[in-house]
């Protein structure tokens, strides 16, 4: 039996107005991410990778079509409902880690869990487990400025999955790292996704990393097409 989709885009339209010119980014885009599937989104800069991720992750509203998360139509939901789905169901990782500089690595993972409603003790316990899993448990009390680029990104990945989302959306998560560090970080990310049963859509320019995923897609004329 086919695995159900955790995220599905149907006929999604997304455009931006630049003066009198309409810039069309997504044009009738269809995409389905199955449960437990790891998909690479490989496309040149400026083709709409970030827009696709933001629309799939409910950070942007589609101008047409619909976005489904776990079978629920989300395109017309209010801001509070969309925020709740993002907080509970979707984790985000970006090229730049966006860690809070005044907090330690562990505290950066604790904060989103406390926002969700966990006690500080529960959040700290899970945060420490995630840091250990990412092989940086010994760096938990260090602030981001005291961490290497690869360590910062591993903290960002741990933060993204701290609330046990069903989906991980990653926008060039290793794009700011040297090749050796990028492979090390991706190894940790892939292991976490595979062992937790997460679904993941990962935008990358790295064809070697993309080849390790279940399938690869790209963007052409505003549509998602297989590679």
Q: What is the pLDDT of residue 208?
A: 86
Residue 85 included in any domain: yes
Helix 120-133 × helix 105-116 angle, to 10°: 130
Domain contains 216: yes
Domain count, the chain: 1
Is the pTM for the entire model greater than 0.75?
A: yes
At 91, which helix (H) or strand (E)? Answer: strand 90-93
User: Does the residue 180 lie in any domain?
Assistant: yes
Residue 150 lies in a domain: yes
Residues 6+ apart with CB under 8 A from 47: 218, 219
| CA distances (Å), origin 220, targets 126, 139, 170 | 41, 42, 20
Could you tell me if 111 and 135 are in contact, meaning their C-beta atoms sit under 8 angstroms apart? no
Which tokens belong to 180?
């050796």
The pLDDT tens digits for 60-73 are 999 999 999 999 99
Query: Is residue 168 domain-resident?
Result: yes
Tell me the CATH number at 106.
3.40.50.300
Note the helical H segments in 17-168.
49-56, 79-89, 105-116, 120-133, 149-160
Residue 26: predicted pLDDT:
94
Instruction: Enter the tokens of residue 121.
Output: 């003790």
Rg (CA), the chain: 17
- pLDDT less than 50: residues of the chain: none
* DSSP for residue 2: P
218 within domain boundaries:
yes
The domain in which residue 43 lies consists of 37-60+78-226
Residue 208 lies in a domain: yes
188 in a structural domain: yes
Cα–chain center distance at 148: 21
CA pair distance 73, 199, nearest whole angstrom: 18
């Amino acid at each position: 039996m086919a695995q159900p989709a955790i995220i599905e885009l149907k006929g999604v339209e997304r455009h931006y107005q630049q003066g009198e010119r309409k810039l069309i980014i997504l044009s009738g885009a269809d995409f389905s991410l199955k449960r437990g599937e790891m998909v690479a989104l490989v496309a040149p800069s400026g083709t709409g990778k970030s827009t696709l991720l933001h629309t799939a992750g409910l950070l942007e509203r589609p101008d047409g079509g619909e976005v489904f998360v776990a079978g629920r139509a989300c395109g017309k939901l209010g801001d509070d409902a969309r925020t709740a789905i993002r907080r509970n169901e979707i984790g985000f990782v970006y090229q730049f880690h966006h860690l809070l500089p005044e907090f330690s690595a562990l505290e950066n993972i604790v904060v989103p869990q406390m926002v969700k409603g966990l006690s500080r003790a529960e959040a700290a316990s899970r945060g420490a487990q995630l840091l250990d899993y990412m092989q940086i448990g010994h760096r938990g009390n260090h602030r981001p400025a005291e961490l290497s680029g690869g360590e910062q990104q591993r903290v960002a990945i741990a933060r993204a999955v701290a609330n046990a989302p069903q989906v991980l959306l990653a926008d060039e998560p290793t794009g700011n790292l040297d090749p050796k560090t990028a492979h090390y970080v991706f190894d940790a990310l892939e292991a976490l996704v595979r062992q937790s049963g997460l679904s993941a859509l990962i935008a990358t320019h790295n064809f070697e990393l993309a080849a390790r995923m279940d399938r690869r897609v790209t963007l052409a004329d505003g549509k998602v097409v297989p590679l």
